[in-house]
Amino acid sequence: MSTQKDAQAKKQLLKTPVTHFDVTKHDTRNLIKAFSKMSFSARDLARASDIYKLMLKDKDSAVILSLAGSTSAAGCLNIYADMVRYNMVDAIVATGASVIDMDFFEALGFKHYQGDPKADDAVLRKLYIDRIYDTYIDEEELQNCDLTIKEIADQLEARPYSSQEFIWEMGKWMKENPKRVKKSGSLIELAYENNVPIFVPAFSDCSAGFGLVAHQAAHPDAYLSIDSVKDFHDLTKIKMDSGNTGVVYIGGGVPKNFTNDIIVCAEILGFDAPMHKYTLQITVADERDGALSGSTLKEAHSWGKVGLTYEQMVFSEASVVTPLLVADAYHSGAWKRRRRRNYTKLLQK
């Protein structure tokens, strides 16, 4: 930005923060029950809600959240944090944007803002405002997030880390630097406190990537790197430890495939791991083009990854469906009787 006029224009555009949905304040059980008597996506969601509650009630089943897309920026950020807080998930596989550009970004005190999908993007670029459909992000604040990642990496041993290990170090940094953390109860912070591992298979594809490139450029002879193969091995260890698994897929992409592939990986390692027993997916992608995000859970059965008894596709936009799904599960209370699995400790042995 070059002028005071630009600064005022930017301030005017970034004036209405996105408010994140609170599942504890909205009891959707009656709504979901009514949906079960309807058809189309309403009944699909009701059945998906039943499957999620079965995951939580099954004492022999671990629950994995597979998270893609931009719902964290759109108002679902606290939902995923509360899934950890209230023991509704045991491990998370996500895109880097969901964890770094959205969760860690807001933990540093920055916000996402309501915007206009028809805005002039050339004007937004001039003002250093990034757009995700109708959501705005201050690029200068995002670069602050990038450089904070560099700062954390600069303090760590120069060796390969899995993304899970590095995100754990981020959680530790947050606890050790409380004055730098402006928003408590972030996904990373709660996962650190409750031993819920977070895996980001494509870790460089987000703010973390920029920060780690800056870190390596500053330390060309001894630097930290990310070992995605260790992520794959560690998530497979969780599968082998848990036996039965249930998965909540928000979107598709790399997290979906990564989560599905641990069944095959366990087999390659000589372990007879059962397919994911319970699965539900929320997506707007189309299956007909052969792409991963829209491929049905039944299709994944042909690969030996997903069981057919408890699976449900919900073809709907996730910022609408996810709050209803998780609020129903929260108020149903099945999570209260679950034991915490503390998988981070398993991986640190």
CB 209 within 8 A of CB 223: no
Non-local CB neighbours of 95 within 8 Å, separated by 6+ positions: 67, 68, 69, 200, 202, 205, 206, 253, 254, 255
Considering the segment(s) 35-348 as one domain, its CATH architecture is: 3-Layer(aba) Sandwich (3.40)
Q: Which residues are catalytic?
A: 305
Mean pLDDT for the stretch of residues 267-290: 94
Banded model confidence at residue 267, pLDDT cuts 50, 70, 90: very high
The predicted-structure confidence for 280-304, as pLDDT tens digits, reads as follows 999 998 888 888 788 999 999 999 9
Do you know the residue count of the chain? Answer: 349
Q: Are the CB atoms for 274 and 92 separated by under 8 Å? A: no
Pairwise CA distance, residues 143 & 136, whole Å:
14
Domain ranges for the chain, please list them: 35-348
Note the pLDDT tens digit of each residue in 307-337: 999 999 999 999 999 999 999 999 999 999 9
In this prediction, residue 65 carries a pLDDT of 98
Share of the chain above pLDDT 70, in %: 99
Q: pTM of whole model > 0.85?
A: yes
